[in-house]
């Protein structure tokens, strides 16, 4: 493992501009780096007022961006793979990771379709589609023994899923008045374990940042 600060990670800024903001994609990348023992230098970007110089770093203006010194990686999934290949121990390629990715990869899009929907006639159908998707993941966790997607060790699939379920449970409870996320036993055990883990706490941000970020969809 490595503890040196040799990389720069451009990340969404918190509302006060002094810490990490509510970006699940940045947290995905940051989790992989943190699990590998790598502490980057954080450069916080106000996504509502992006500085001109940032577009020279990433013309698309999106975060995260990892500057390794040799290249700039602008996709969170690619940052995870970089971390895994550069620092192979501890591995994130746990047995069953591919299946876990397959099971969990659609949940954020399905939830977003329900949460952002403005057509009342579609609400029930979209809610049921989300519950079905969540139940699929819950059943997988229960059958797999948990507490995480591939057992007791972090995997690539967890770096992908953990930040998303953090957003989902906060938004569902606050804005949609749906408490069912935390009532499914496999999902509850997952959240209890992961949200209290050191990597998640080191890369996380308060729920109020999430709610502020999603407020535009419910105004």
Which domains are assigned to the chain? 8-86 (3.40.30.10), 97-217 (1.20.1050.10)
Taking residues 138-162, what's their average pLDDT? 97
Model confidence at 41, pLDDT cuts 50, 70, 90, reads very high
Tell whether omega for the bond before 147 is within 30 degrees of 0, i.e. cis: yes
Give Rg (Cα) of the chain. 17
Residue 178 gets the label, from left (phi > 0), alpha (psi -120 to 50) or beta, of beta
- Active-site residue, 150 included: no
pLDDT for 126: 98
pLDDT for 15: 95
Model confidence at 5, pLDDT cuts 50, 70, 90, reads low
pLDDT beyond 60 at 3: no
pLDDT beyond 60 at 11: yes
pLDDT beyond 90 at 2: no
d(CA 51, CA 40): 21
Give the pair of three-digit tokens for residue 112: 């977003």
* Residue 42 to residues 67, 113, 136, Cα–Cα distance (Å): 11, 32, 36
Contacts for 190 with CB less than 8 Å, ≥ 6 apart: 141, 146, 147, 148, 149, 165
Model confidence at 4, pLDDT cuts 50, 70, 90, reads low
> In terms of Cα–Cα distance, which of 218, 163, 209 is closest to 20?
209
Taking residues 159-188, what's their average pLDDT? 98
What value does the mean pLDDT of the chain take? 96
User: Is the model's pTM score more than 0.75?
Assistant: yes
pLDDT for 186: 98
| Alpha helix positions (H), the chain | 24-35, 54-57, 76-86, 97-104, 107-115, 120-144, 156-174, 185-195, 198-203, 207-214
pLDDT beyond 70 at 14: yes
Please check whether residue 97 is in contact with residue 196, taking contact to mean a CB–CB distance below 8 angstroms: no
pLDDT beyond 60 at 28: yes
Please check whether residue 44 is in contact with residue 20, taking contact to mean a CB–CB distance below 8 angstroms: yes
d(CA 8, CA 69): 8
Tell me which of 11, 13, 20, 23 is the catalytic residue: 23
Give the pair of three-digit tokens for residue 164: 């998303």
**What burial class does residue 41 get, using C-beta atoms within 10 Å of its C-beta: 0-12 exposed, 13-18 middle, 19+ buried?**
exposed
pLDDT beyond 50 at 125: yes
3-state secondary structure of 41: strand
pLDDT for 143: 97
pLDDT beyond 90 at 202: yes
Taking residues 29-58, what's their average pLDDT? 97
Model confidence at 1, pLDDT cuts 50, 70, 90, reads very low
pLDDT beyond 50 at 106: yes
């Amino acid at each position: 493992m490595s503890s040196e600060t040799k990389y720069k990670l451009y990340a969404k800024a918190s509302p006060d501009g002094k810490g990490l903001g509510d970006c699940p994609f940045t947290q995905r990348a940051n989790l992989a780096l943190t699990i590998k023992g790598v502490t980057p230098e954080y450069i916080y970007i106000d996504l509502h007022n992006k500085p001109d110089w940032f577009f020279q770093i990433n013309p698309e203006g999106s975060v995260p961006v990892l500057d390794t010194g040799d290249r700039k990686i602008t996709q969170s999934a690619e940052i995870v793979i970089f971390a895994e290949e550069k620092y192979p121990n501890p591995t994130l390629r746990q047995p069953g990771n591919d299946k876990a990715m397959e099971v969990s990869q659609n949940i954020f899009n399905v939830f977003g379709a329900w949460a952002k929907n403005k057509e009342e006639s579609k609400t029930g159908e979209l809610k049921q589609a989300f519950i079905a998707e969540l139940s699929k993941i819950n059943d997988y966790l229960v059958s797999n023994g948990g507490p995480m997607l591939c057992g007791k060790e972090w995997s690539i699939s967890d770096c992908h899923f953990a930040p998303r379920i953090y957003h989902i449970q906060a938004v569902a409870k606050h804005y949609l008045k749906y408490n069912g996320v935390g009532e499914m036993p496999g999902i509850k055990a997952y959240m209890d374990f992961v949200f209290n883990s050191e990597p998640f706490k080191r890369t996380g941000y308060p729920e109020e940042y999430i709610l502020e970020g999603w407020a535009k969809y419910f105004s």
